Amino acid sequence: VSAARATGDLAGRRVVVSAGGTREPLDPVRFLGNRSSGKQGIAIAEAARARGAEVTLVAANLEVPRPEGCDVREVSTALELQRELVDAAAGADVVVMAAAVADYRPAAVSEQKIKKDASDSGLTLELVRNPDILAGLGAAPHDGTLLVGFAAETESDEERLLELGRGKRRAKGADLLVVNRVGWSEGFAADDNRVVVIGPDDAVVTQAHGSKASVADAILDVVVSKLNPAAH
Ligand code: CTP
Ligand code: CA
C-alpha cells in the first residue's frame, strides 16, 4: 500500500474513467473494433477507488473483469460512450479518457447479415466520422473538472512522439495528456506499460513504466497535484 493510498488523497472526489475500445456495428454479426483491452483504464479506476475517490467507469467492451466498488456503465459504440460519459462528467472532479474510441463508424448498419456476391472481388465500406468526445468536453465549459486524455501512438522517435502528444493535448483542450507507445506487441494487451504525461505548459510532468497499476498511480499522483484544493 503506497502512502497515497493510505492517506486517501482522492477522498471526496468524483472520478470518471472511460476504458476499453468501442465497436461499431456493420450488421448483426460484425463490427469494426480495435485492440484496446481496457487494462490501463481499469487500473486507473481501481487506483482512484483505492485512493478514496467515487469512481464511475464507462466500460466499452472490456476483455477483463470489471473492478469492484465502481459504478460501471457498459457501452459499446462511440455514440453510446459519448452519451454515458457526458452524463457522468457533469460536475466530476476528474475525467480520464483512456478508452480507444473509433474515429469512424459505418455510414449505415445493415439490418441483415451482409452477404458476399459470387461475382464481387471486394467490398468498399463507407464510414462517417464519430464525434471527438474529449475535444467536446474540452470545448464546453468544465470549470473544476480536470480533463485527462490519452494518445496511443506508433511513432518510434521519442521527440516526435512527444510532439504528437503535445498537439493532441492542445487540440482537445485537455489538461493532461498521457502518451503511450503502441505497436503489434506493445501497449494493448500487455500487463506492463510505459507512458509520458504532458502538462498544461507542454512540459513532461512525469514518466512512468512498469505494471499498469503502478503507471495508474503515477498518473493519479499528477492528477492530485493539479486538483483545485478550493473546490474541495
Ligand atoms: N478520443 C475521443 N473521441 C474520439 C477519438 C478519440 O474522446 N472520437 C480521445 C481518446 O479517448 C483519447 C484521445 O482522444 O483520450 C486521443 O485519442 P487518439 O485516437 O490518440 O487521437 P485522435 O485525436 O483520434 O487522433 P488519431 O487517431 O488520428 O491519431
Ligand atoms: Ca483516434
What ipTM describes this predicted complex? 0.99
State pLDDT tens for residues 134-191.
999 999 999 999 999 999 888 889 899 999 999 999 999 999 999 988 766 666 666 7
Instruction: Measure CA 98 to chain center.
Output: 1
CA of 168 to the centre of ligand 1 (A): 8
Dihedral-angle region of residue 185 (phi above 0 means left; psi in -120 to 50 means alpha; beta otherwise): alpha
State pLDDT tens for residues 87-113.
999 999 999 999 999 999 999 999 999
Hey, which of 17, 75, 101 would you mutate to test ligand 1's pocket, going by the most ligand atoms within 8 Å of its Cβ? 101
Rounded to 5°, angle at Cα 174 from 169 and 176: 80
196's grid cell: 509520458
CA of 154 to the centre of ligand 1 (A): 14
34 is catalytic: yes
Find out whether 67 is annotated in a ligand binding site: no
Q: Among the atoms of ligand 1, which is closest to the Cα of residue 168?
A: 23
Give the whole-angstrom CA distance, residue 221 versus residue 10. 10
Find out whether 131 is annotated in a ligand binding site: yes
Rounded to 5°, angle at Cα 38 from 184 and 68: 150
CA of 132 to the centre of ligand 1 (A): 7
Hey, which of 84, 97, 146 would you mutate to test ligand 1's pocket, going by the most ligand atoms within 8 Å of its Cβ? 97
Q: Name the nearest CA neighbour of 179 among 217, 219, 151.
A: 151
Q: What is the dihedral of CA 221, 222, 225, 227, to 10 degrees?
A: -110
Q: Do the beta carbons of residue 180 and residue 150 sit within 8 Å?
A: yes
> Model-level pTM?
0.94
Find out whether 113 is annotated in a ligand binding site: yes
Q: Do the beta carbons of residue 51 and residue 135 sit within 8 Å?
A: no
Find out whether 133 is annotated in a ligand binding site: yes
In this structure, the residues whose C-beta lies within 6 A of any atom of ligand 1 are 78, 97, 99, 101, 103, 130, 132-134, 149-152, 168, 172
State pLDDT tens for residues 33-55.
998 999 999 999 999 999 999 99
Please indicate whether residue 60 or residue 180 has the higher confidence score (pLDDT): 60
- Inter-CA distances, 133 with 8, 94, 184, 230, Å: 29, 15, 26, 28
Q: Name the nearest CA neighbour of 70 among 101, 41, 36.
A: 41
- Of all residues in the chain, the percent with pLDDT exceeding 70 is 92
Q: What are the helix (H) ranges across the chain?
A: 3-7, 39-50, 78-89, 133-139, 158-172, 212-226
Could you say which of 34, 61, 180, 193 is catalytic? 34
Give the whole-angstrom CA distance, residue 124 versus residue 108. 13
